[in-house]
Amino acid sequence: MAGVVGIVGTGLVGAAAGYLLALTPGVREVVLTDLDTARATSEAADIAHAAAFGSTALVRAGGYADLAGADVVVITAGVSLKPGQTRLDLLATNARIVSGIIERVLAVAPEAVLLFATNPVDVMPALAVRRFGLPPGRAIGTGCALDSARFRDRLARQFGVAPQSMHAYVLGEHGDSEVLHWSGVHVAAMPLARFAEQVGAPITPALQARISKEVRSSAYRIKEGKGVSNFGIGGCIARLTQALVNGEQTIFTVSTFMEEALGVPDTCISLPHVLGARGASASMMPPLDAVETVALRHSATVIREAIGAALAG
């Protein structure tokens, strides 16, 4: 890939992603696009000035025509969560906004990988596949990649190790039905329960419940204090894009459209995928215990229903 990345939507999430992308290895150029052209121009200038301290990436504003030749186009545009809303409450408005964006992006960058951060993020890849015929591997939702990072961070703090030493994933919806894959957590080449016993901090049901609640409610708690969650998702976007533009073949839990998952047809849940220069691989289903299987099937059903509503709208 040439390392050219477009961002559609220069609100707080798009701006955070733009800044971090300007510092991301392998990213040579970042193009910011927004209906508010003055906002896009100002954000591009501000990011370029900051990036000049440690990056040679070109950061500029542009229209859709300037996305021609982009390797990855990140879509963050849409209305944001308000207090008391869930991500699925944004469905009708954001599905309409994102459908228009997809059409305009593909008109100038038909070979680009589309990376969606607009909520409900698990629905947007399905729109690209079902309405516009994009291959599933080139329509990627950030999905539970950020939730997985939050899970690892919380476990790392609990057990006093670096997050990078924790192998833990969140699966399913990026939202209230997400599934923390407790049965698959490993650290130091052993299951978490065994590691926890060896360090004298055994896992209890109460601890699991508390950590699960904290991970699942992270974004809501952040929004209560500052009104928006932007740096976490900005970092997530930058890391996923780095894997794409550099052909890393790194595994992340992102969402892509699937014809079937656990018996649920036409859904789009986060599962492990390999990210590389061609986009995302087919999803991989890890071993699940009985409780996780039921929960993930429910999550897949929630997203399937949301996709159906979006396509009917």
Residue 13 annotated as binding site: yes
Residue 54 annotated as binding site: no
The token pair at 9 is: 């939507």
Give the integer Cα–Cα distance in Å for 134 and 269.
17
Residue 12 annotated as binding site: yes
The token pair at 178 is: 């997400």
In three-state form (DSSP H/G/I as H, E/B as E, the rest C), the secondary structure along 68-107 is CCCCEEEECCCCCCCCCCCHHHHHHHHHHHHHHHHHHHHH
Q: Is 245 helix (H, G, I), strand (E, B) or coil?
A: helix
Continuous H helices in 7-36: 12-22
Q: Is 125 helix (H, G, I), strand (E, B) or coil?
A: helix
For residue 260, which phi and psi values (nearest 5 degrees)? -165, 140
Q: If we measure between CA atoms, which residue out of 82, 94, 92 comes closest to residue 118?
A: 94
Catalytic residue among 167, 174, 186, 298: 174
Q: If we measure between CA atoms, which residue out of 109, 97, 37, 116 comes closest to residue 67?
A: 109
Residue 10 annotated as binding site: yes
Number of H helices, E strands in the chain: 10, 16
Residue 119 annotated as binding site: no
Which sign, positive or negative, has the C-alpha torsion 290, 295, 301, 307? negative
Q: If we measure between CA atoms, which residue out of 81, 86, 108 comes closest to residue 8?
A: 108
Query: Is residue 181 annotated as part of the catalytic site, yes or no?
Result: no
183 Rama class: left (phi>0) / alpha (psi -120 to 50) / beta: alpha
- The catalytic residues are 174
Residue set of the binding site: 9-14, 34, 94
Residue set of the binding site for NAD(+): 9-14, 34, 94
